[in-house]
Amino acid sequence: MIALAVCLGTLFVFTLGACADPPGEQSPGPSWVKVTEHAGWKPRDSAGEVAYGGRMWLLGGWFNSYGPFPNDVWTSSDGADWTLATPQAAWVHADLPTTLVFENKMWIMGGWYGGRNPEASASNQVWSSTDGAEWQSATENAGWSPRLGAAGVVLDGKIWILGGVEKYFFGDEHSLQNDVWSSTDGAHWDLVTRNAPWAPRAYHGAVAFDGKLWVLGGGNYLPAYEAHNDVWSSSDGVHWTKVAAKAPWAPRIWFSTVVYKDHLWLLGGWSNHPSKNWNDVWYSADGKDWRQLVSQNVWSPRHEHSAYVLEDKIWIAGGNPWPCTNDVWQIEVPDAVLKRRAGDDTLKP
| Residues belonging to the chain | 349
Nearest alpha-carbon partner for 186 in 213, 159, 152: 159
95-123 pLDDT tens trace: 999 999 999 999 999 999 999 999 999 99
State residue 154's pLDDT score.
98
Would you give the DSSP letter of residue 348? -
What secondary structure does DSSP assign to 158-185, as a single string?
A: EEEEEEEES-SSS--GGGEEEEEEEESS
Residue 158 neighbours by CB distance under 10 Å: 18
Structure confidence at residue 345 (pLDDT):
47
3-state DSSP assignment of residue 188: coil
238 within a domain of the structure (yes/no): yes
Q: How many CB atoms lie within 10 A of CB 134?
A: 12
Amino acid, single-letter form, for residue 346:
T
Instruction: Provide the terminal-to-terminal Cα distance of the chain, rounded to the nearest Å.
Output: 25
Q: In this structure, is residue 189 part of a structural domain?
A: yes
Query: Does the pLDDT at position 333 exceed 60?
Result: yes
35-92 confidence digits (pLDDT tens): 999 999 999 999 999 999 999 999 999 999 999 999 999 999 999 999 999 999 999 9
Residue 314 belongs to domain spanning = 29-339
* Residue 17 counted as domain residue: no
Task: Report the alpha-carbon distance of residue 142 to residue 46 in Å, rounded.
Answer: 22
Neighbours of 273 (CB within 10 A): 7
Which helix (H) or strand (E) segment holds residue 337: the answer is helix 335-339
Local confidence band at 172 (pLDDT 50, 70, 90 cut-offs): confident
| Phi, psi angles (nearest 5°) of residue 196 | -70, 160
170 vs 268, more confident: 268
How many domains would you assign to the chain? 1
Sheet holding 48-52, edge to edge: 48-52, 55-59, 73-76, 83-86
In a domain, 178, yes or no: yes
Query: Would 6 be classed as within a structural domain?
Result: no
| pLDDT of res. 162 | 98
- On whether the pTM is more than 0.85, the answer is yes
Residue 325 lies in a domain: yes
Examine the pLDDT at 342 and tell me if it is beyond 90. no
13 found inside a domain:
no
Residue 256, in any domain of the structure: yes
Q: What pLDDT is stored for residue 29 in this prediction?
A: 83
pLDDT in the model for residue 27? 57
User: Is the predicted pLDDT of residue 319 greater than 80, yes or no?
Assistant: yes
> What's 218's domain CATH number?
2.120.10.80
